[in-house]
Structure 1
Amino acid sequence: MSNTPASSPSSSPGPDLLPSLGHLTVPPQAVYALGAALLVLLAWLLLITGRYLIADRETRASIRQAFWIRRRWTRLAKAIGLVTTDRHPSLGQTLVIDGKRAPAPKFLVPSISTKCDQYGVKVTVHTVPGVGLAEFQKHAGHLAEAWGCTRVSVAVDKPGRLLLRAVRNEPLAQKTTLVPDGSMPTDLTVWNLGLDEYAMPAKLHMAEVPGMVVGGLPGKGKSALINGLISQLAPSGAVQFAVADGKVKEAHEGDYADIAERLFAFAGADLEEANALFQRLTQLRDARSKLIRQTLGVRGMWDVGPTPAWPLVVLVIDEAHTFFRDFKGSDPATKRLAGLAQDNARLVEELVKMGRNTGFLVILITQKPTGDAIPTAIRDVCSVALSFAQRSTEASVATLGENIRQWKDMDPSTMQHPDFVGVAVMAREGHEGFIRVRTPYVTATDTARIARATARLTTDPADLLTRSASDTTACEEAA
């Protein structure tokens, strides 16, 4: 019997293919999985580093800001009360607790994710019970201080999710100038307003909109807004403009003198002259209503959209309170003016309430659209409202409605600083709340240039309607 000891695995020839940790052998699958995980982590780190290196200086600052927002979020949320305390025991706690000792409370902290740009950080928040929109609005100032921002805006993204805009460089404070090129608008139902506070394009959908209210203090952007609208729409023969300007008496005066060639009708501050214009347009609306099915074959103009034969009629009523003023007095002259003002209100109310299907858009501009400036019967049926800087919250409410009281960071009365000239507040389309928009400055000279270049397109919609009705009748007789 041989006394030669048996060979052990460690003394066997050939390499040891399996790494070992002491007496523990690591399977190859675990090694491969660990290697793959390390490769994924390395790729992720390279991606993050690459994005940081190729970003501009301001975006890099936002990336660093976003890192610290995420890193310190749980502690900050607990410190300012943006958490919910859950004192109900979990299933595991109910199995181990003897019933005599209360379970330790749990803190439910809203989860967040971030996205950076050159202006700051967008923070998406998934809310928890008891911590929602109102709570984040209340603590917006605290968040701005903790995150090193000029401000933090809070808005509803979708149910159960909020969108916080942590602004380090205010996009609304960067004034822009637009030089219109006179190109044909591709879509007459969309009005490009400018950039919103998220530095994203802001658009206003004007299809099916019969009335629009624009309020704000003098010199805060109302005229530039209208210049921008006319410059965008004037190159299309499917839009015709009329103006009632309460600041002047004649068409060659005031803000609209340089675009008079592109207006098919104009009235100054004289109430009788304005009344004649409003009567003329209500008669056009009535005639269109009677002929629309016969001429267009549809119930409403927006079913087919405006055309050069049936254009959208845009009526701008600037300093609107001039035409609706409540005159007090018993002398014949005052009574006459009071009667004209009441009739003006009736005619404009008819245009706003009944002009949508036939292709009318009435834009009412005034500093403070209270009930004595624009009758509530008119103001409350205008489906779009924009407000530039106001002197008081009451003026903001008059323009935007009572809901603006719930969005204090959006109140136009907080935008009286010169940096906010040209910034308007409007309701968010499709979402709750409001949004601020930086409208570009369009000079009167550029607007006049566009008006002169497109003057050949100006025509009276009433003449077009008569011509269209005659052509339709001739076709029917020939058939």
Structure 2
Amino acid sequence: MTPNEVMGYAPAAAGAALALIALWAVLWVVRYIRADADTRVSIRQAVRVRRGWKRLAQMAGLSVTDKMPTALASLANTDGKSPKPRVLTPVLKVKPDRYGIVARANCLPKVSLAEFQNAAPYLADAWGCERVSVTPDGPGKVIIRGVRTDPLRHKTQHVPTGEAPVDVPTWHVGVDEYAQPVTVDLSNVPGITVAGLPGYGKTSVINRLVCDWAPSPAIQFVTVDGKVSTAREGDYAHLSKRMFAFAGDDLAEANAIFKRLVNLRSARSTSIESVLGVTNFWDVGPTEEYPLVVAIIDEAHTYFADHKGPDKKTKELAALAAENARLVGDLVKKGRSVGIVVILATQKATGDALPTAIRDVCPVGLSFAQKTAEAAVAALGDDIRNWPDANPTDLQNPAYVGVAAMKHNERPGFLRVRTPYVSAADARRIAEETAHLTRDPADLLMCQLPGGDVRRALLIKPDPADDIPEAA
């Protein structure tokens, strides 16, 4: 092709390039107009970050000098002098969202994850962010998250879809202080503790879990709630149709449920290999015929309180409380491998409210606002003293209702999480749509066991006098 022919195509190529630029500009403007006010600010912020990155990277120590000339520079050198060293900066790709920006960058020699993390405070100041975090994004790559506004102060609402979860053991808790999703894999988790002052979000975070998991027939729920007397009252009234059993603050009724669950645990332990072909439930995971059992014990201190007094009634309550602690301890210590997870919610997770033999076996812990350092340590362990920024005693501000400090079983240290609110109307809708999926796991197991005396020996139900009414 001759130079004249090439020049002939130049106007068309230039026109195509201009058309692409114009299309990109139109798409950018449309995206900007359709965005909410916070996202628009983030879009402008992202533009400033991209434009000033090379200069800022060098000032923040995120660049490296390459003294080795490239092959092209060597060929172009005609005066015999060595080419000037090149200053290399990581390539940065930036995306805005409602809270700030998410940037991805490549590492360079002597500019790795540690250097990015050390520079995070300087990046936060230069970008106008409240905080910046840097985490790995695979070999030789990092994610830089900058938040302009505090996600923990933004109240959020979760609307359940009513669709069965794809990954049953995954619990979507909320978002952290960088607006990143916080999930917990509950596979092989025996128990969860949820502590905090009244009205700060304990029940709401459990409601979200039930609403998200209720559409799956591979999960069955049972609840005892110390705040109410019947299933028609309180925070779980709208969800009770999706629970195969429910008890209120009556210690005898709760005791009957705990006995049922321990009998189920014992029967599953005895028969799991013959039914599932494995000795650990999580090797195959939950199914409709052999579901994961989620036992919710709200206001757990109600059932373990140490009753003292010489009268007959007080002695009976003390005996029930002691037995309740033993039964729940059995579930937490032995239920993991047979597909039983226990969620214990209480205001203060101190030893007098939640027996340490139970509390200390639970690897996942959340604590909403606490008044005292003692309560924070009881809920999250002594190590919370080393993480003052995450201490739940700092969450008493009304703006932090729904925010919890969390000990994650897959992350070091502690993080703060904004948990969303689930409305009563949505909870009622989910319960009504999924009520037909409610099954007693004991009945399901009976159908899979051999007949006759073997079945009766494996699964002994409580005495009729101790039985409780099914959930309304």
Residues 1:117 and 2:96 aligned together: yes
What does residue 247 of structure 2 align with? 267
Q: Distance in 1 between matches of 2:346 and 2:408?
A: 22
Q: Distance in 2 between matches of 1:115 and 1:403?
A: 36
Letter in 2 for 1:284: L
- CA drift of 1:334 comes to 2.4
Q: TM-score, normalised by structure 2?
A: 0.72
Q: TM-score, normalised by structure 1?
A: 0.71
Q: Distance in 2 between matches of 1:53 and 1:189?
A: 41
CA RMSD in angstroms, aligned pairs only: 4.1
Summarize deviations over 1:154-186 as a string: whole Å, max 9, x none.
879999999875421223333332222321222
Note if contact 1:388-1:425 (Cα within 8 Å) is conserved in structure 2. Answer: yes
Secondary structure of 2:230's counterpart equals coil
What does residue 197 of structure 1 align with? 177
Q: 1:370 aligned to 329, 350, 357, which one?
A: 350
What does residue 60 of structure 1 align with? 44
Secondary structure of 2:317's counterpart equals helix
Summarize deviations over 1:172-229 as a string: whole Å, max 9, x none.
3333322223212222111222333333332211111110111222222222212211
Percent of pairs with identical residues: 50
Q: Distance in 2 between matches of 1:347 and 1:259?
A: 25
Q: Is 422-431 or 288-297 further displaced after alignment?
A: 422-431
Note if contact 2:152-2:177 (Cα within 8 Å) is conserved in structure 1. Answer: yes
Q: Distance in 1 between matches of 2:252 and 2:371?
A: 32
Note if contact 2:184-2:408 (Cα within 8 Å) is conserved in structure 1. Answer: no
What does residue 83 of structure 1 align with? none
Q: 2:233 aligned to 245, 250, 253, which one?
A: 253
What does residue 305 of structure 1 align with? 285
Aligned residues: 402
Letter in 2 for 1:117: P
Structure 2: which 5+ runs fail to align?
Answer: 1-20, 33-39, 62-89, 455-472
What does residue 16 of structure 2 align with? none
Letter in 2 for 1:60: R
Summarize deviations over 1:239-272 as a string: whole Å, max 9, x none.
1111110111222221122222211111111112
What does residue 341 of structure 1 align with? 321
Q: Distance in 1 between matches of 2:453 and 2:218?
A: 22
Q: Distance in 1 between matches of 2:140 and 2:348?
A: 36
Q: 1:291 aligned to 265, 271, 294, which one?
A: 271
Seen in structure 2, the aligned counterparts of structure 1 residues 163 and 429 have a Cα distance that, compared at 3 Å, is farther
Note if contact 2:193-2:343 (Cα within 8 Å) is conserved in structure 1. Answer: yes
Letter in 2 for 1:459: R
Q: 2:196 aligned to 216, 230, 235, which one?
A: 216
The structure number with the bigger radius of gyration is: 1
Note if contact 1:156-1:432 (Cα within 8 Å) is conserved in structure 2. Answer: no
Seen in structure 2, the aligned counterparts of structure 1 residues 215 and 155 have a Cα distance that, compared at 3 Å, is farther
Seen in structure 2, the aligned counterparts of structure 1 residues 461 and 156 have a Cα distance that, compared at 3 Å, is same
Note if contact 2:350-2:379 (Cα within 8 Å) is conserved in structure 1. Answer: yes
Residues 1:388 and 2:368 aligned together: yes
Secondary structure of 1:396's counterpart equals helix
Secondary structure of 1:454's counterpart equals helix
Structure 1: which 5+ runs fail to align?
Answer: 1-45, 78-110, 475-479
Summarize deviations over 1:361-406 as a string: whole Å, max 9, x none.
1000112212221111111111111222333343332222222222
Secondary structure of 1:448's counterpart equals helix
What does residue 321 of structure 1 align with? 301
What does residue 394 of structure 2 align with? 414
